Structures are given as C-alpha cells and as structure tokens.
Structure 1
Amino acid sequence: MLGQLKTEEKSNEITAIPELIKLLDIKGALVTIDAMACQTEIAKTIVDQGADYLLAVKNNQGKLRQAVEAVFATQRATAPERIEAEQGHGRIESRQAYVLSSETLDGNFSRWKGLKSIVTVENFRYQKGKAAELEYRYYISSKQLNAEQAASAVREHWGIESMHWVLDVTMAEDACQIYKGHGAENLSCLRHIGLNMLRSEPTKLSIVGKQKRCMMNTSMLEAVLNAGLNSMNKS
C-alpha cells in the first residue's frame, strides 16, 4: 500500500482519487483503476502527473462502453492478442487480451486525455460440477499497449482486487462501522499488516485457516509474527 486518503463527509471516492494521485510519485507508471474511477477528470489527473492510465469501462460510461464493445465485436479477429491459460484442482481458466487503437472508436472521445488504446479481455472459466462462464471486460488506456502488456497489467490489477476481496472476507473490512477520527484509516493499515504477516508464514494453510490456528495456538501466533517481522526487515 503506497497511500490512502480518507473521504470527507458529503464526498466519495471519485472526488478523493485525484487528490490521492497528486500525493503520489507516479511518473512513468501505468495506473490501473476499476470502473468507478473511469472518469475524464481522473484520467486527466493521471496524465498530468506524468503517468498513463488503464481504466476499466462499464455502464457508468455508457457511450464509451458501447463504442468499445462495438469495435471489438467487428474487429476482434484482426486485433493483436495474448492468450494465457491455467489449470488445476478441477478448474480450467483462460484469458485472451485484445488491443486496438482508440482511433477505431466511432465517436468523439477527445475528453479522455491522451487516449491511445482500447482493450478487451475475454475470460473463460470452467470448474468441475459448475456451468462454464464466459465474460468480456473492457478497458481504455493512454498508453500505446500491445496485447502482452495489456494482459499483464490487467492480471496485476485483478491480483489487487483479489487482495481487497480477501480483506473483506477474512477481516470483514466492508462491514466495519468505525469511522470517527482516523479510526478507519488506522484499522485499514492494521488489516494490511496483518494480512501480509499471515501470507509471510510458510504453512500451506488458507488465510482463514491460519487465523483459526493463531486463535487456538500461541506457537502459531508467534510463527506468524516472526515471519511477518522478518519479511518487513528484508524489505
């Protein structure tokens, strides 16, 4: 975690994100954010800070989403692609990333500062005993991406999303009602530290399994603390 910013009352994350971006040294970076932050002002702030953006596009930007979707519906076969596949534990998953120039879009999207590339990722998942799933996700970027770069950036972003899912499931982050003063920010830091410590402990248990073991066994608790502190010292 590089930084966090508490949202003020009568405000939301959309207004807080540009302020947080301005606090960070992101020059030369590719900034990935989920669909909520797919806003022209946020895109402009990222570019003005010397970075590039890769923003998920959903229905909160309806015209943009429709335009991107329409291009890939007709030109996916000619787009450069990157295919990745994973298999194990009765699960098969494949991801195909396609990239095209933003110049292929039908419409005026000049409000998106520096827009150069549009991306779609086709995600296929099959798990034994369940119906197969096929999902398309769409993105825009100010960087001239190739398919491999796009696939890598999206994969890394999903890894961060997965971490937040773990924080919610294992530490009830979204259910936390503490908000006075700096309480929410402090607890967020502590959850990240706790999760990193649990992950540093090498036992092949799930995060929940390690939490339960720590509650029942002080030796396991000491092992997690030692692993976490050693990891901090190395970094």
Structure 2
Amino acid sequence: MALLAIAVLATAAGMRGYAGFATWAATASDDVLAQVGVRFRRPSEKTFRAVLFRLDPADLNARMGSYFTAHVASSDPGGLVPIALDGKMLRGALRAKATATHLVSVFAHRARLVLGQLAVAEKSNEIPCVRALLTLLPDNLRWLVTVDAMHTQVVTAKLICATLKSHYLMIVKSNQAKILARITALPWAEVPAAATDDSRGHGRVETRTLQIITAARGIGFPYAKQIIRITRERLITATDQRSVEVVYAICSLPFEHARPTAIMTWMRQHWGIENSLHWIHDVTFDEDRQRAHTGNGAQVLATLRNTAINLHRSTAPTTSPTPAGSPL
C-alpha cells in the first residue's frame, strides 16, 4: 500500500514511470513518507518496477473503482448516475510486432471521476469490453449509460435495461443502418426545437438544436422511448468557416424522466469526455510518450493516473450542474 500511495502522489506531482516514482520518493520529506507507511529505506526504481509489474491490473482497477463509485453514490443518493463508456489507445505502449494497449473507461459525467477500466482483448474490439465493464457496475445504483454508435447494440441495450435495471442514451449511425433509416425518415421538418444550447471558446461558436419524437414500436430497438436529433452548427470565427452536423440518438427514458434540457446536457457531457479525461491523460500526464509496455505496466500506470485525477476532483467542489428536467 505504501508503494501505491507513493506512486499516486508522484503521478499527481507530474512524475512519469518507475524512475519518476523513485525520484519523488528520494526527495520527499521523512514526515511525508512516514504518513504513507515508509519508515526505513526509501523505495528504489527497481522496487517500484518489481512490485507494480506483479500487480493484477483488473484487481487494482476494481479496488480503486469501488472506492470512487461509493463517492459518486453518496453524492447522488437514490438518483440516476450518468456515465460515459469510451475507449482510448495508449500509444506509448506500442512496440515492435505488437499493438497498442487499448483501454475502455467508465467515466461519471457530473463528478468527472473514472469508475472503472478494462483492457480490450487482443484481436477483439470495444464491444465485449464495454459489456464486461457494465457487469462490474454495482447493482444498487441506477445508471444512465451514454455510448458512441459502436455500442448501439441490441445485446448491450438489453444488458443495461433488463439486467442492470438502468437506462441508456445511445448515438445512432450507419452501423445500425436499418434503425438509422427509420429515424431519418421521420418527419423532422415538422418537429419544433425542444432545446437549444450555445457554447463559445477556442475561436469557435457552436449552436446545438435538439428535437425529440416519442419512439414508436416499429423503431426496432429494445426499450427505446425517445428518438433524438441534434443539429450542431459550428462557426470558426477567424475564417468565418461554417459547418453543420446532424446527430441522431435513442434514449430508454420516457419524456417525463428525461426532459430535453437533461438530454442536451448528457449529450454534451458525453462528448466532453475528450477534454475531461483523454486530454488530461495526453497533455497533463504526457501519456502517449510513456513507454511502459512489459507485463501489466501500461494498464497499472493508467489506473494510477486515473486515481490521481479522481483524488484531485473528489476533494474539490464540483462545477458540473445537475441537468434541468433530470430525475436526479
């Protein structure tokens, strides 16, 4: 436990890998080391490498995830907890004749905490990994699961709604061609805007307009209650370049439990995982240049980075508001 505590503290301080952990331990005060349980010899790079190399990444992730899931549960007692599931390649783990480590994370929208992480099996993809992660979620909470189009699958929807007794918000694209065709054929021109949202920053202005239609039985997707269309209009202010993107989604919550403003917020927070998590890993922790690639190193170090992020965020006041119209 002392070595893990040092590794997390060193990670939070910007140290990278086993050598960085040893450097942090070598320069930390005796009092700080005593507080984490080190009372004699300061651990070396060799010690960190030997111990962390032998850790079971799934067990480490489960223990860390359980702790932070309890934190989320205490902040949302009896409510619906929105979570995003999304994958990321650890490009720094690439090596000759091998593929990069590919991890899928469970990310709590409002608390902005990572609640779980699993590696995608070799010669596989994210779909079974996401389902495995869902089965690890505690069944004493109700979840609102947001996913990209890859995971808009009948089996995944049934797992969320029937097994977990929770709900989904899924993006629909051409991988579900029949459902997409039915959705795009609906009379959207006659549907008024249910909500609008504007954002400005980084030289860009974006306006999002949301429309909703109650799902009919013929939509052909289990548990679907609402069909959503979001039109995203972007303006690059420096060049006056304009673009329009239309995104479709389906939600298992009925209108009375998922109002347009709540859906808009959940969609925006789902898209925001790139900045709220992946960007932090890539830029703050320089993850793509880290070269831990033997044994379980890449997964263990990613979990330590998640833990450092979570500890910082869980001890700071949240700035994410509850979506208006949400049952939370």
Q: TM-score, normalised by structure 1?
A: 0.72
Contact 2:183 2:219 (8 Å CA) reproduced: no
Conserved 8 A contact 2:193-2:209 = no
* Correspondent of 1:13 among 94, 103, 126: 126
8 Å CA contact 1:93, 1:125 repeated in 2: yes
CA contact (8 A) 1:79 1:100 kept: no
CA distance in 2, matches of 1:37, 1:82: 26
The structure with more radius of gyration: 2
User: Which whole-Å CA distance do the structure 1 matches of 2:125 and 2:166 have between them?
Assistant: 23
> In structure 1, the residue corresponding to 2:210 is in which secondary structure?
strand
Code of the aligned partner of 1:55: M
Aligned partner of 1:58 in structure 2 is 173
Aligned to 2:252: 142
From 196, 206, 220, the equivalent of 1:83 is 196
Contact 1:76 1:98 in 2 (8 A): no
Moved beyond 4 Å, runs of 4+: 171-180, 193-197, 231-235
CA–CA distance in 1 between the matches of 2:181 and 2:286? 35
Q: SS of the counterpart of 1:115? A: coil
Report how many residues are paired: 197
Show the counterpart of 1:94: 207
2:169–2:249 Cα contact (<8 Å) kept = yes
Give the number of the structure with larger relative contact order, counting CA–CA contacts within 8 Å between residues 6 or more apart.
Answer: 2
Question: The residue matched to 2:138 in structure 1 has which SS?
Answer: coil
Q: Deviation string for 1:83-123 (max 9, x for gaps)?
A: 111335643221111111111x8x550xx321111111111
2:155 is aligned, of 11, 16, 41, to 41
Q: CA RMSD in A?
A: 2.8
Q: Is the 8 A contact 1:167 1:191 kept in 2?
A: no
Q: 1:186 to 1:192 in 2, by over 3 A?
A: same
Name the amino acid aligned to 1:24. Answer: L
Q: Is 1:115 paired with 2:229?
A: no
Of the structure 1 ranges 39-48 and 83-92, higher mean CA displacement relative to structure 2 is found in: 83-92
Pairwise CA distance, 1:23: 0.6
Question: Once the two structures are aligned, what percentage of the paired residues are identical?
Answer: 30
Compared CA separation, residues 28 and 40, structure 1 to 2 (3 A): same
Aligned equivalent of 1:153:
266
Query: TM-score, length-normalised on structure 2?
Result: 0.53
